[in-house]
């Protein structure tokens, strides 16, 4: 009846330095119910994406099933399980931008970047996505890189825009 | 008590009932699908909708509580139409190959369709991509899943394992382990409770029937079969008997009629387990009390679902487990050594089949430790459901069989072995023997039943005071042996947290992986009777009480086995054949490389599954399948190209129109 009082720590000890930033966040939210999304949110901010290994670490720290963590991650499109580029390009394909040639921008961008929609460039600089209306219909066609909106884009402007990053 | 009106009938019912329950009590059946009494009350499928006067929308009757003066219509035109549409929508993303489905005629979705009078399926939309994922124990066929989430509830709330959960969103939703990992590679205990509650053919045991037929048909093989105690009070349900009705004699006859050469009883090995495990317990307690140090509490190891669970969840506590193998693998080891020598047959020609109420045992026999002299202890495990299917397939009319008997020498058992099938049983059987070994007197309980640990509660405990022991056991004088019993992995988790923290007050703990023990194991018949557990439990206890011998150490064939072969309990040979070791696995399987995925068990057909696999030549089918896949990919590519060209054409036409307009404007201005 005499045993070590510690639960399994194999994962934790192997990767403690790697996830030390996350540990602080988990410590903060650990005993609050319903804080998983918040933790995932912050974790993605720190590490860029949420790979299986990180999901396991979070599941282990919070003592909840891994399938629950991955269930939440795969439910929300904001969470990504694949590495993301340094910058995220979102080309608007809302009605106005669609009509004013959003599709051509996408075609040209994917030529320049060499990747398709939802993918990340090989050098890890850009993740290429579409957005459904960013509320800039008067400036169509529009696109966003990170938090900056580019208005009335056309295919000839693209290279000079990308050159800024 | 409150009163309400259902279909014009005034009813007075308890106020905490749902509309569904209130209607049932008053003779009105509301068709439902995902609702499962006491398990899943969640309202996910909406089939049970009813009209409540004053409510804006139809209400799911399984989760809406009754209230005073409520007026409910369960059978209005609006309700019936809604149910049909809901049902047809469920069908629109369900593979409708019912005739070749394992659940044909035992499918709740099929039955519901008949109840609702469905004669057409109007919605033929897209079908979601699906996964066929097989582990050694459990097969997931997600083309049949209707997302009712009963399995999710059982896995998370009842068992507390949480391997299955909804992944992705909307049309892409799939019930699956995390990140589409194969079920054979995660911390699933293979308890099989999900396969019991699945209303359709989406979750089921991985089939072993053909392997067993092959062995029976192989003239060179001596095919030995053994039956677990819990099977005999449940298999009757597949042939129209009441739950809990004992059909032991007929079961033995049916096995002989199927063509098995020897029909043995796992009960014999259960008696043997008691002697091995009881001796181990006394050794550990003695070492602890005499200051030599021993790991206590000792925990039972009969339930392979529990074993896999502890290996994943508490990999540092494995030395608490008794080193005894589970009874059926003990039996397998004995058949291929002791019995093989007796009948002068080479163990390589012996094929051992276990009939088990369990899906986890299918994985257990594939473990590297369950081998002796290079031979697997047990070669195939059939669940109770699978055996019933074989009996039906063979055309054996079960109800008309004469009562048969198990074969000697490995078919004789005492009542103590029977109760292995129910929670608290192993503990009671062990106490019957250990108490008598220590004191020379019978266990001081009426009918030998240790009443505090009988019944279906999640965690039970008892203390037994040892007074005036035999001289050899004087170190136990005045000691209270404290025991705990739990069934279901959630209860196990509770007890284990204390064990891991070093505050567990017990000497001996019994854990069964399934709630209620083996009587409601993952391989047992699916029952609609809410009383099924208590009925099967009573069946087990009456089987015990019907026996002349009710203590394992009284079994004469066990004595003979020790005299002729093993020597003594926990002897060197006994350790070699009947004891085992455990594997540290970790929550994410990170501590070990052993996996239980069936080769090629995971498939993700994108368009339609090719049925070419019926052909004899495997290579040819594979080529054919590849060609079909290639063709479907080409068709898809062509279609995509087509759409692209069309949209380009539209764009060009639009631009032309614009230009025309601009030109005509220009001309207009310059006139």
Indicate whether B73 belongs to any domain. Answer: yes
Statement: residue B190 has pLDDT above 80: yes
Helix (H) / strand (E) containing B633: helix B618-670
User: CA-CA distance, B201 to B140, in Å (whole number)?
Assistant: 9
| Domain-terminating residue out of A18, A43, A75 | A75
Put simply, the answer to whether A59 touches B504 (Cβ < 8 Å) is: no
Count how many Cα atoms sit within 13 Å of the Cα of residue B199 in the half-sphere of its side chain.
22
Statement: residue B476 has pLDDT above 80: yes
Statement: residue B313 has pLDDT above 60: yes
User: CA-CA distance, B172 to B128, in Å (whole number)?
Assistant: 7
Q: Which pair of structure tokens corresponds to residue B541? A: 């206890």
Task: Report residue B436 CA to chain centroid gap.
Answer: 35
Indicate whether B319 belongs to any domain. Answer: yes
User: CA-CA distance, A69 to B587, in Å (whole number)?
Assistant: 14
| Domain-terminating residue out of A30, A46, A75 | A75
pLDDT, tens digit, for every residue of B426-442?
A: 999 999 999 999 999 99
pLDDT, tens digit, for every residue of B334-367?
A: 999 999 999 999 999 999 999 999 999 999 999 9
Local confidence band at B612 (pLDDT 50, 70, 90 cut-offs): very low
Nearest-by-CA chain A residue for B496? A7
| Closest residue by Cα to residue B356 from B523, B145, B479 | B523
Put simply, the answer to whether A66 touches B499 (Cβ < 8 Å) is: no
Q: Which pair of structure tokens corresponds to residue B143? A: 């083309």
pLDDT at A13: 45
| Closest residue by Cα to residue A100 from A148, A149, A153 | A153
Question: Is the same domain home to B266 and B372?
Answer: yes
Question: Is the same domain home to A91 and A158?
Answer: yes
**pLDDT above 70 covers what percent of chain B?**
95
In total, the C-beta contacts within 8 angstroms joining chain A to chain B are: 90
pLDDT at B308: 96
Indicate whether A5 belongs to any domain. Answer: no
User: CA-CA distance, B188 to B488, in Å (whole number)?
Assistant: 14
Indicate whether B69 belongs to any domain. Answer: yes
Say which DSSP state B174 is in.
E
**What is the domain range of residue B441?**
209-597
Query: End-to-end distance of chain B based on CA atoms, in angstroms?
Result: 90
pLDDT at B55: 92
Put simply, the answer to whether A3 touches B317 (Cβ < 8 Å) is: yes
Put simply, the answer to whether A8 touches B315 (Cβ < 8 Å) is: yes
Local confidence band at A14 (pLDDT 50, 70, 90 cut-offs): very low
Statement: residue B601 has pLDDT above 90: no
Number of domains in chain B: 3
CA distance, residue B295 to nearest chain A CA (Å): 7
Question: Is the same domain home to B572 and B666?
Answer: no
Question: Is the same domain home to B588 and B620?
Answer: no
Question: Is the same domain home to A44 and A92?
Answer: no
Question: Is the same domain home to A37 and A65?
Answer: yes
Question: Is the same domain home to A53 and A94?
Answer: no
Put simply, the answer to whether A60 touches B587 (Cβ < 8 Å) is: yes
User: CA-CA distance, B262 to B411, in Å (whole number)?
Assistant: 9
Helix (H) / strand (E) containing B381: strand B380-383
pLDDT at B402: 94
Are B391 and B237 within 8 A, CB to CB?
Answer: no
CA-based max dimension of chain B: 128
3-state SS assignment for residue A60: helix
Question: Is the same domain home to B590 and B632?
Answer: no
**What is the domain range of residue A42?**
10-75
Put simply, the answer to whether B178 touches A70 (Cβ < 8 Å) is: yes
Indicate whether B164 belongs to any domain. Answer: no
Statement: residue B553 has pLDDT above 70: yes
Helix (H) / strand (E) containing B433: helix B425-439
| Domain-terminating residue out of B26, B57, B92 | B92
Indicate whether A81 belongs to any domain. Answer: no
Local confidence band at A136 (pLDDT 50, 70, 90 cut-offs): confident
| Closest residue by Cα to residue A162 from A99, A117, A111 | A111
Residues of B near A (Cβ–Cβ under 8 Å) read 156, 161-169, 176-179, 186, 288, 296-297, 313-317, 499-505, 586-588, 590-591
pLDDT at B159: 95
pLDDT at B643: 83
Average pLDDT over residues B96-112: 92
Question: Is the same domain home to A55 and A114?
Answer: no
pLDDT at B644: 83
Average pLDDT over residues B459-467: 92
Put simply, the answer to whether A52 touches B179 (Cβ < 8 Å) is: yes
Label residues B26-58 b or e (16+ Cβ within 10 Å = b): eebebbbbbbbeebbebbbbbbbbbbbeeeeeb
CA distance, residue A134 to nearest chain B CA (Å): 23
**Which of B165, B502, B505 minimises the CB distance to A3?**
B502
Give start and end residues of each alpha helix (H) in B579-617. Answer: none
pLDDT, tens digit, for every residue of A19-55?
A: 888 888 888 888 888 889 999 989 988 888 899 999 9
Statement: residue B609 has pLDDT above 60: no
Question: Is the same domain home to B575 and B657?
Answer: no
pLDDT at B602: 63
Q: Which pair of structure tokens corresponds to residue B385? A: 């459901």
Percent helix, percent strand, percent coil in chain A, to nearest 5: 45, 10, 45
Question: Is the same domain home to B582 and B626?
Answer: no
Statement: residue B4 has pLDDT above 70: yes
Among all chains, which residue has been given the structure tokens 């005034």?
B10
CA distance, residue A76 to nearest chain B CA (Å): 8
Question: Is the same domain home to B530 and B646?
Answer: no
Local confidence band at B291 (pLDDT 50, 70, 90 cut-offs): confident
CA distance, residue B516 to nearest chain A CA (Å): 24
ipTM value greater than 0.95? no
Local confidence band at A1 (pLDDT 50, 70, 90 cut-offs): very low
| Domain-terminating residue out of A55, A75, A95 | A75
pLDDT at A83: 85
Question: Is the same domain home to A61 and A123?
Answer: no
| Closest residue by Cα to residue B258 from B388, B383, B403, B407 | B388
User: CA-CA distance, B65 to B322, in Å (whole number)?
Assistant: 48
Number of domains in chain A: 2
Instruction: List C-alpha distances in Å: B286 to B370, B504, B552.
Output: 29, 18, 22
What CATH number should be reported for the domain holding residue A129? 3.40.30.10
| Closest residue by Cα to residue B331 from B399, B391, B263, B393 | B263
Which residues in chain B have their CB less than 8 angstroms from residue A66's CB? Answer: 162, 177-178, 186, 587-588
Instruction: List C-alpha distances in Å: B631 to B143, B605, B627.
Output: 22, 13, 6
| Domain-terminating residue out of B61, B92, B123 | B92
Query: What is the average pLDDT value for chain B, to the nearest integer?
Result: 91
Question: Is the same domain home to A91 and A71?
Answer: no
Indicate whether A126 belongs to any domain. Answer: yes
Q: What are phi and psi of B296, to 5 degrees?
A: -130, 155
3-state SS assignment for residue B584: coil
User: CA-CA distance, A110 to A124, in Å (whole number)?
Assistant: 15
- Catalytic positions of B are 277, 280, 302, 322, 361, 364, 369, 518
Indicate the range of A75-79, B343-347, B539-543, B574-578 predicted with least confidence.
A75-79
Question: Is the same domain home to A60 and A102?
Answer: no
Local confidence band at A146 (pLDDT 50, 70, 90 cut-offs): confident
Statement: residue A10 has pLDDT above 60: no
Indicate whether A80 belongs to any domain. Answer: no
List beta partners, residue A129: A90
Indicate whether B649 belongs to any domain. Answer: yes
pLDDT at B47: 94
Question: Is the same domain home to B571 and B630?
Answer: no
Indicate whether A82 belongs to any domain. Answer: no
């Amino acid at each position: 009846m005499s045993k070590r009082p510690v639960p399994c720590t194999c994962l934790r000890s192997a990767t403690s330095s790697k996830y030390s930033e996350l540990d602080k966040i988990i410590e903060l939210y650990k005993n609050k119910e319903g804080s998983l999304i918040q933790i995932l949110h912050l974790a993605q901010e720190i590490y860029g994406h949420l790979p299986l290994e990180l999901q396991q670490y979070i599941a282990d720290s919070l003592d909840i099933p891994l399938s629950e963590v991955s269930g939440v991650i795969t439910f929300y499109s904001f969470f990504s399980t694949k590495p993301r580029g340094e910058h995220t390009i979102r080309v608007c394909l809302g009605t106005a931008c669609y009509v004013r040639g959003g599709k051509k921008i996408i075609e040209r961008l994917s030529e320049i970047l060499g990747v398709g929609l939802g993918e990340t460039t090989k050098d890890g600089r850009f993740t290429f996505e579409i957005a459904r209306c960013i509320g800039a219909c008067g400036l169509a066609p529009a696109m966003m890189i990170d938090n900056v909106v580019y208005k009335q884009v056309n295919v000839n402007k693209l290279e000079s825009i990308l050159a800024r990053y | 008590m409150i009163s309400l009106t259902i279909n014009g009938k005034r009813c007075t019912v308890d106020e905490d009932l749902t509309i569904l329950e209130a209607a049932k009590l008053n003779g009105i059946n509301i068709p439902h699908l995902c609702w499962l009494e006491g398990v899943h009350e969640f309202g996910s499928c909406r089939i049970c909708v009813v009209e409540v006067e004053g409510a804006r929308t139809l209400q799911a009757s399984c989760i809406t509580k009754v209230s005073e003066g409520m007026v409910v219509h369960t059978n209005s035109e609006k309700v019936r139409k809604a149910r049909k549409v809901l049902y047809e929508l469920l069908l629109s993303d369900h593979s409708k190959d019912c005739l070749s489905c394992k659940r044909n005629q035992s499918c709740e979705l099929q039955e519901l369709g008949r109840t609702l009078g469905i004669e057409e399926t109007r919605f033929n939309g897209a079908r979601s991509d699906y996964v066929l994922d097989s582990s050694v124990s459990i097969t997931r066929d997600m083309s049949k899943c209707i997302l009712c989430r009963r399995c999710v509830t059982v896995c998370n709330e009842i068992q507390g394992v949480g391997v299955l959960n909804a992944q992705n969103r909307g049309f892409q939703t799939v019930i699956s382990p995390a990140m589409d990992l194969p079920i054979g590679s995660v911390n699933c205990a293979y308890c099989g409770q999900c396969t019991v509650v699945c209303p359709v053919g989406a979750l089921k045991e991985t089939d072993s029937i053909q392997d067993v037929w092959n062995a029976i048909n192989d003239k060179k093989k001596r095919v030995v079969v053994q039956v677990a105690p819990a099977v005999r009070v449940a298999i009757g349900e597949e042939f129209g008997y009441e739950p809990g009705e004992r059909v032991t004699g007929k079961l033995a006859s049916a096995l002989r009629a199927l063509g098995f050469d020897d029909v043995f009883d796992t009960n014999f090995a259960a008696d043997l387990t008691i002697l091995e495990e009881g001796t181990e317990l006394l050794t550990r307690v003695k070492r602890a009390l005499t200051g030599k140090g021993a790991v206590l509490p000792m925990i039972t190891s009969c339930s392979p679902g529990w074993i896999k669970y502890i290996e994943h969840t508490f990999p540092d506590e494995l030395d608490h487990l008794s080193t005894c193998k589970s009874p059926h693998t003990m039996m397998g080891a004995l058949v291929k050594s002791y019995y093989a020598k007796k009948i002068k047959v080479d163990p390589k020609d012996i094929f051992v089949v276990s009939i088990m109420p369990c899906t986890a045992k299918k994985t257990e026999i594939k473990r590297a430790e369950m081998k002796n002299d290079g031979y697997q202890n047990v070669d195939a495990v059939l669940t109770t459901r699978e055996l019933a299917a074989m009996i039906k397939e063979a055309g054996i009319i079960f109800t008309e069989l004469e009562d048969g008997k198990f074969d000697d020498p490995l078919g004789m058992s005492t009542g103590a072995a029977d109760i292995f099938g129910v929670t608290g049983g192993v503990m009671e059987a062990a106490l019957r023997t250990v108490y008598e070994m220590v004191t020379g007197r019978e266990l001081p309980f009426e009918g030998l039943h240790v009443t505090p640990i009988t019944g279906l509660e999640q965690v039970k405990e008892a203390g037994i005071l040892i007074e005036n022991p035999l001289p050899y056991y004087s170190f136990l004088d005045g000691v209270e042996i404290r025991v705990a019993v739990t069934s279901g992995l959630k209860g196990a988790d509770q007890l284990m947290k204390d064990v891991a923290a070093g505050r567990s007050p017990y000497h001996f703990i019994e854990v069964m992986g399934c709630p209620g023990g083996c009587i409601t194991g993952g391989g047992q018949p699916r029952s609609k009777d809410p009383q099924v557990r208590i009925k099967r439990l009573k069946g087990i206890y009456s089987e015990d009480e019907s026996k002349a011998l009710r203590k394992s150490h009284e079994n004469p064939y066990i004595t003979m086995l020790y005299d002729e072969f093993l020597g003594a309990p926990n002897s060197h040979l006994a350790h070699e054949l009947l004891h085992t070791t455990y594997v540290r696995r970790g929550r994410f399987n990170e501590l070990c490389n052993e996996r239980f995925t069936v080769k090629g068990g995971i498939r993700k057909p994108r368009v339609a599954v090719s049925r070419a696999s019926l052909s004899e030549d495997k290579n040819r089918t594979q080529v054919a399948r590849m060609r079909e896949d290639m063709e479907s990919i080409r068709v898809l590519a062509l279609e995509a190209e087509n759409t692209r060209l069309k949209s380009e054409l539209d764009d060009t036409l639009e631009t032309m129109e614009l230009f025309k307009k601009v030109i005509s404007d220009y001309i207009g201005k310059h006139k």
